Amino acid sequence: MLRFLNIQDFVIVDRMEMEFVPGFTVLTGETGAGKSILIDALSLALGERGDAGEVRNGCKRAEISAEFDVSKSPELLAWLRENDLEGHVDDRSACLIRRVIEAGGRSRGFINGRPVTLQQLRAAGERLVDIHGQHEHQSLLRSEEQRDLLDAFSGSRELVQAVVTGYRRWQSLQQRRIAWEQNTATFEREREQLELQNRDLTTLNFSPDEWQTLKSEHSRLSHSASLLEVTQACLEILSESESASLTQIISVTSRLNGFLKYDASLKGVLDMLESAQIHLQEAVSKLEHYQQRLDLDPKSLQEMEERLSVVHAAARKYRIAPDELPNLLKTVAKQLEDFSQVGDGEVMAKEEVIARDIYFKLAKKLSIVRDGAARKLAQQVTAAMQTLAMEGGKFAVTQTPLDQGNAHGMEQIEFQVSPHHGLPLRPLAKVVSGGELSRISLAIQVITSKVGVAPTLIFDEVDSGIGGRIAEIVGGLLKKLGSERQVMCVTHLAQVASAGDQQWQVSKSGDPANGGNVLSHITVLKNQERVEEIARMLGGVQITETTRKHAAEMLRASGN
């Protein structure tokens, strides 16, 4: 349940702090005082879209913080654990939600101090609070809303999702099979072409390593004559001619070595020359060894050129660079593997039948659950109608079969109503009276709310269009619901307000005509204050003692 709500600089609220209690709480006040702003602020904290226009004029940001007791909400606790959003280790029962909207339009959300997305805020909000707006009866006119409401009432959320998944699986396999049948000839042509390419490239037996070797060896073989010539010339210069470099260095070293006894400073020069001599001898040895390995082999060169020609021809054929041929072979092999996994039409048809049977089994199970829930919901709403000035009226949930079904099951759900005895059942969307529609909608909301997962229910002026004895009955319905869940209701009806276990008054101050800011405030009313507020709701501007007595009697009659 909601424990605490803090609102700062939101619309006409500068700062407002509220501590919430269990039971049925009513929020009352003059029109325009900001009663619904509280609902808007909480909705924003729970993931509704916001904009910079909701930041109070002249302020940098609006901030809404809400604290919930989630000790009796196992589904939410599990969700928080799965998303690593658990509360403080000392108090796992608390869930703190905060939403900030900057004047520039930027929005941020937090759960237990951790930044989250709007989608995560909404996911948490759906498990915490169920808000029924004053125009919600309009959404009840939509067929899909009626279906979702029946499924929620039946408690079949997991089965509904299984039906959706089963239907999508069946349709996917059906579409794959149809596409395969329509494109069998095309598939076969593509398969044959891929098999030809695979054989061609496999026979080529070409690898990246071979490509590097081919280029290197071809370059060496095609220049072997020049390499022999330059090698011989170098050996002549270094060691084989009469004035060879190695011979000259040996001569210089020998002559300097004879004079070393006369001047020891020549030792450094002599050491360098001896080192140079050693390196030259090693270089000559390596050149001689290289010369011996070099040979003029026209046959090997021809074979190398023929192999290169084959590789280049394949590259031109497939319009790629030679070194990309091995990757092309891998791609072709993968495509052939994919084709083999497509299977044949017979296998596809069997898989489709299995998926269809699974869907129909799940959908029929859902139909049975819906049938029982429809009778139960019809019975309870019909009973409620008898107390809401629709004596003799009847409510029904019709289920029109769908031959092939759809993602939502095997039937079309429609709410039908007969407002009074003797009138035929008609679709809820064709109920003419707005007052009757509002009362039926309220009855449905109250009844279906009992099976919801959210521990907190908020009704925002859902009692519009009713009054008198009916308003008193509505107040009783909400009070009874408050014994099971935390219920809050924004109301303008004294009969509903007097039924509340506690009452808050929303008021505004400030005169914009004289340059003052309009601000909204909230006050928790005590006994006599409740009498005054309910008397105001009954009597308007002039409150008499008679009105006060009437207000006090209404409170006593409601057990307050």
CATH of the domain at 512: 3.40.50.300
Domain annotation covers residue 382: no
Domain-embedded: residue 448: no
Beta partners for residue 257, in sequence order? none
Tell me, letter by letter, the H, E, C secondary structure of 293-362: HCCCCHHHHHHHHHHHHHHHHHHHHHCCCHHHHHHHHHHHHHHHHHHHHHCCHHHHHHHHHHHHHHHHHH
pLDDT per residue as tens digits for the range 50-60? 888 889 888 99
Q: How confident is the model at residue 342, as a pLDDT?
A: 55
Instruction: Give the residue, 457 or 308, on which the prediction is more confident.
Output: 457
Residue 403 belongs to a domain: no
Residue 319 lies in a domain: yes
- Give the β-pairing of 486-490 and 24-28: parallel
Q: How far apart are CA 140 and CA 429, in angstroms?
A: 8
Query: Where does the pLDDT of residue 362 fall: very low under 50, low under 70, confident under 90, or very high at 90 and above?
Result: very high
Answer yes or no: do 126 and 212 share one domain.
Answer: no
What per-residue confidence (pLDDT) applies to 544? 83
Has residue 138 got a pLDDT over 80?
A: no
- Whether 125 and 203 map to the same domain: the answer is no
The residue from 306, 341, 376 where one domain ends is: 341
pLDDT averaged over the chain? 84
Predicted TM-score of the model (pTM) = 0.61
pLDDT in tens, 57-95: 889 999 999 999 988 888 888 889 899 988 775 677 889
Same domain assignment for residues 204 and 330: yes
Residue 217 has pLDDT above 80, yes or no: no
Which of the listed residues 341, 364, 384 is the one where a domain comes to its end? 341
For position 514, what pLDDT does the model report?
A: 45
Q: What SS3 string covers 433-476?
A: CHHHHHHHHHHHHHHHHCCCCCCEEEEECCCCCCCHHHHHHHHH
Q: Are residues 242 and 113 in the same domain?
A: no
Q: Are residues 10 and 128 in the same domain?
A: yes
* Integer CA distances (angstroms), 311 to 154, 217, 300, 314, 370, in order: 70, 15, 17, 5, 69
**Does the pLDDT of residue 296 top 60, yes or no?**
no
Same domain membership, residue 311 and residue 236:
yes
Residue 136's region, left for phi above 0, alpha for psi from -120 to 50, else beta, is: alpha
Indicate the SS3 state at residue 487. Answer: strand
- Residue 417: pLDDT band with limits 50, 70, 90: very high
Distance CA 170, CA 353 (A): 8
Beta bridge partners of 6: 17, 65
Asked if residue 168 belongs to a domain, the reply is no
Picking from 454, 413, 444, the residue whose alpha carbon sits closest to that of residue 148 is 413
Residues 194 and 130 in one domain: no
Under a CB-based contact definition with an 8 Å cutoff, are residues 32 and 490 in contact? no
What total of structural domains would you count in the chain?
Answer: 2
Band of pLDDT at residue 401, cut at 50, 70 and 90? very high
Instruction: Tell me: pLDDT of 216 over 90.
Output: no
- Do 242 and 112 have their domain in common? no
124 shares a domain with 248: no
Last residue of a domain, one of 318, 341, 364: 341
Could you report the per-residue pLDDT of 243-270, keeping only the tens digit for each? 788 888 888 888 888 887 787 888 888 8
Residue 401 belongs to a domain: no
Residue pLDDT, tens place only, 495-523: 999 999 999 998 887 655 445 566 777 88
State in Å, rounded, how far the first CA of the chain is from the last one. Answer: 22
Measure Cα distances from 477 to 22, 450, 491, 548 in Å: 16, 11, 14, 24
DSSP one-letter string for 363-380: HHHHHHHHHHHHHHHHHH
| pLDDT recorded at residue 168 | 95
Structural domain that includes position 489:
1-134+453-525
Task: List Cα–Cα distances, 530 to 328, 505, 524, 542, in angstroms.
Answer: 83, 9, 9, 16
Would you state the pLDDT for residue 416? Answer: 93
Q: What is the CA 42 to chain-centroid distance, rounded?
A: 22
Is position 521 within any domain?
A: yes
Alpha helices in 46-140 (DSSP H): 74-82, 118-128, 136-139
Does the pLDDT of residue 45 top 70, yes or no? yes
d(CA 360, CA 370): 15
pLDDT recorded at residue 251: 82
486 or 37, greater pLDDT:
486
Q: Which of 134-143, 322-331, 358-367, 535-544 has the lowest mean pLDDT?
A: 134-143
pLDDT exceeds 70 at position 433: no
Give the pair of three-digit tokens for residue 81. Answer: 């654990």
So what's the pLDDT on residue 167?
96
For residues 126 and 148, what is the distance between their CA atoms, to the nearest angstrom? 14
In this structure, the answer to whether residues 460 and 333 fall within a common structural domain is no
Taking phi over 0 as left and psi of -120 to 50 as alpha, with beta for the rest, 506 belongs to: beta
Q: What is the pLDDT of residue 513?
A: 47
For residue 282, pLDDT over 80 is answered with yes
- Does the residue 538 lie in any domain? no
User: Does 256 lie in the same domain as 125?
Assistant: no
Same domain (yes/no): 335, 268 = yes
Contact 522/16 with Cβ under 8 angstroms? yes
